[in-house]
């Protein structure tokens, strides 16, 4: 089972001054209290005095439930790029982690068979799958490229082929002689002895597909969408879904039970939902602020599962080699990354933050990061003001342009009004295919996104409306 940092339709936070990213949140959770701009600082600091501080999520990146054990994680290290995928060994006594740059990390009895960490990928890795004997694994990138290691055979890929939607994950056949790739629009691509049993490609979806799981005999598979909708093909049984439910945060992945009689879904807020004969062994849902969760993997006996929370890990964003347009681009990305956390002022009041007054603060965060690196931008509360300042004092790039680390990403349809400029963040990493990873303040799983600085992506800016809930309309270039 693979983990995917995949999004869902977001709910905009309608405020006069800013917009917060409620990525993967499918319900409009705004209340009157969310719409109030508090005039009192309540412990919030001015941008000039906000301290650059390390992560305070404090977790290991791996949360265990039932008979799942933590065999280690990269916490304590600084990785070149964000962790995007995980796969357990066949006995459940270890697991592999894969990063967006193709780096592979082994724990427990998982063996190292190679990685793409030094290749310089065209697009980021978004999923992985091991061979049945654990002596190899495949990695899949967002553009459909497949990389095989150990005894994993290469059976084909979608790399170099035009796709209607980005790839979000993969699953291997039981004998390891084939695999499926799944795209965000529900399209299925089968290779080797993987049979094609149907897809959602070409069908309208309420929310993008975020993952898949194969049946034990390989004669079917499930797809799961960000709204919790389940689609079954071949001999995959339908055991229930969340497609008609109102969720606190969107779904990020799924895992099936050993006999295919049930499955689990993971929410971005750490919630776990079980169906059929899948047992409930606990979750991270309800924590404030929620530690963003990108997926779930089950133990081989089905009596436990792991949740992956990659924001617990530190990153340098140094691979692939970034196309910096200014000398300070690396420093800007690092300053933003140093702030990834649940807000320490959480108890001080709604929207209280270290970067300015107690009000929606995604723009306050982005302008603080630039200010901390010597860029004389004012501390703006409205995201559209960043656009106007950059247009007059620096540069503005169109939404279809390739940004660089250190740029500010602007979400919405334009800066003209509150309704059209809704959220912002710092570009931290860029791939040749244009996929980005960003660091964003006043963001995270709804309804508590106002408490966090998060890592967002990888995603293609052109697909931002499906991934984040709103499109990208420009980049501000310092």
Q: pTM of the entire structure?
A: 0.89
pLDDT profile of the chain (478 residues), mean per 10 = 33 32 32 22 35 57 96 93 97 98 98 93 97 98 98 96 96 98 98 97 94 98 98 98 92 97 96 98 85 94 97 90 74 93 69 89 96 96 96 95 95 91 97 96 84 94 94 96
**In the listed set 264, 294, 314, which residue is the last one of a domain according to the structure?**
314
Q: Are residues 176 and 218 in the same domain?
A: yes
User: Do the beta carbons of residue 470 and residue 456 sit within 8 Å?
Assistant: no
Annotate 319-373 with three-state secondary structure: CCCCCCCCCCHHHHHHHHHCCCEECCCHHHCCCCECCECCCCCHHHHHHHHHHHC
Give domain status of residue 211, yes or no. yes
Are the beta carbons of 23 and 443 closer than 8 angstroms? yes
Residues written for the chain? 478
Cβ atoms within 10 Å, residue 355: 28
Q: Partners of 222 in the beta sheet?
A: 213, 232
- Tell me the C-alpha distance between 184 and 210, whole Å: 6
Q: Are residues 40 and 76 in the same domain?
A: no
Same domain? For 50 and 66 the reply is no
Q: Is residue 241 part of a domain?
A: yes
Give the per-residue pLDDT at 58.
Answer: 62
Q: What is the DSSP letter of 201?
A: T
What total of structural domains would you count in the chain?
Answer: 2
Q: What is the pLDDT of residue 322?
A: 66
Secondary structure (DSSP) of 292-333: ---EEEE-TTSSEEEEE-GGGSEE---SSPP--SSTTHHHHH
- Domain check: are 286 and 390 in the same one? no
C-alpha span between 363 and 418 (Å, rounded): 13
In a domain, 121, yes or no: yes
Pair 214, 181 in one domain: yes
Would residue 156 count as lying in a domain? Answer: yes
Same-domain pairing of 451 and 343? yes
Pair 297, 169 in one domain: yes
Q: Is 423 inside any structural domain?
A: yes
Residue 162 tokens read as 């035009």
**Residue 301 sits in a domain of what CATH number?**
2.130.10.10
Query: 90 in a domain, yes or no?
Result: yes
Joined tokens for residue 146: 């497949």
Domain assignment present for residue 23? The answer is: no
Boundary of a domain, candidates 289, 314, 339: 314
- Please check whether residues 157 and 242 belong to one and the same domain: yes
Based on the domain organization, do 146 and 198 belong to the same domain? yes
Tell me whether residue 14 is in a domain: no
Residues spanned by the domain of 325: 32-55+321-477
pLDDT of residue 57: 59
Closest CA to 111 of 136, 148, 90, 139: 136
Domain end, chosen from 274, 295, 314, is at: 314
Say yes or no: 394 and 305 in one domain. no
Same domain, 327 and 383: yes
Report pLDDT for 227. Answer: 96
Same domain membership, residue 44 and residue 68: no
Q: Are strands 452-459 and 436-441 parallel, antiparallel or unpaired?
A: antiparallel
């Amino acid at each position: 089972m693979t983990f995917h940092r995949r999004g869902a339709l977001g709910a905009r936070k309608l405020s006069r001054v800013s917009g917060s990213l409620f990525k993967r949140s499918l319900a409009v959770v705004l209340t009157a209290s969310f719409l109030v701009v508090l005039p009192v600082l309540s412990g919030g600091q001015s941008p000039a005095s906000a301290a650059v501080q390390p992560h305070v999520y404090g977790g290991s990146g791996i949360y265990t439930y039932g008979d799942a054990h933590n065999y280690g994680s990269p916490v304590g290290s600084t990785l070149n790029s964000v962790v995007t995928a995980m796969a357990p060994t066949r006995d459940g006594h270890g697991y592999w982690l894969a990063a967006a740059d193709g780096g592979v990390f082994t724990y427990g009895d998982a063996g190292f068979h190679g990685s793409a960490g030094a290749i310089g990928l065209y697009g980021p890795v978004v999923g992985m799958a091991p061979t049945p004997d654990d002596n190899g694994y495949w990695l899949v990138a967002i553009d459909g490229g497949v990389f095989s290691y150990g005894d994993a055979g290469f059976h084909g890929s979608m790399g170099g082929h035009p796709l209607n939607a980005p790839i979000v994950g993969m699953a291997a056949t039981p004998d390891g002689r084939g695999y499926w790739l799944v795209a965000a629009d529900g399209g299925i691509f089968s290779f080797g002895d993987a049979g094609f049993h149907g897809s959602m490609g070409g069908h309208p979806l309420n929310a993008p597909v975020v993952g898949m799981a194969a049946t034990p005999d390989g004669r079917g598979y499930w797809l799961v969408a960000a709204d919790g909708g389940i689609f079954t093909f071949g001999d995959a049984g339908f055991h229930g879904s969340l497609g008609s439910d109102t969720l606190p945060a969107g779904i990020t992945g799924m895992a099936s039970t050993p006999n295919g009689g049930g499955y689990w879904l993971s929410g971005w807020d750490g919630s776990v939902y079980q169906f059929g004969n899948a047992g409930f062994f606990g979750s991270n849902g309800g924590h404030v602020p929620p530690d963003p969760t990108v997926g779930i993997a089950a133990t081989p006996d089905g009596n436990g599962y792991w949740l992956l929370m990659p924001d617990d890990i530190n990153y340098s964003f140094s691979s692939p080699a970034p196309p910096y347009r200014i000398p300070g681009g690396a420093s800007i990305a690092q300053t933003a990354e140093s702030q990834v956390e649940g807000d320490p002022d959480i108890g001080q009041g709604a929207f209280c933050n270290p970067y300015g007054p107690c009000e929606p603060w995604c723009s306050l965060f982005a302008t603080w990061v630039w200010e901390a690196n010597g860029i004389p931008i004012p501390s703006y509360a409205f995201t559209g003001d960043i656009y106007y300042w950059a247009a007059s004092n620096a540069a503005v790039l169109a939404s279809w342009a390739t940004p660089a680390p250190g740029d500010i990403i602007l979400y919405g349809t334009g800066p003209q009004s509150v309704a059209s400029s809704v959220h912002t963040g710092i570009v931290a990493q860029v791939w040749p295919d244009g996929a980005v990873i960003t660091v964003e303040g006043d963001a995270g799983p709804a309804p508590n996104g106002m408490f966090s600085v998060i890592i967002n992506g990888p995603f293609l800016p052109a697909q931002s409306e499906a991934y984040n809930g709103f499109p990208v309309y420009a980049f501000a270039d310092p």
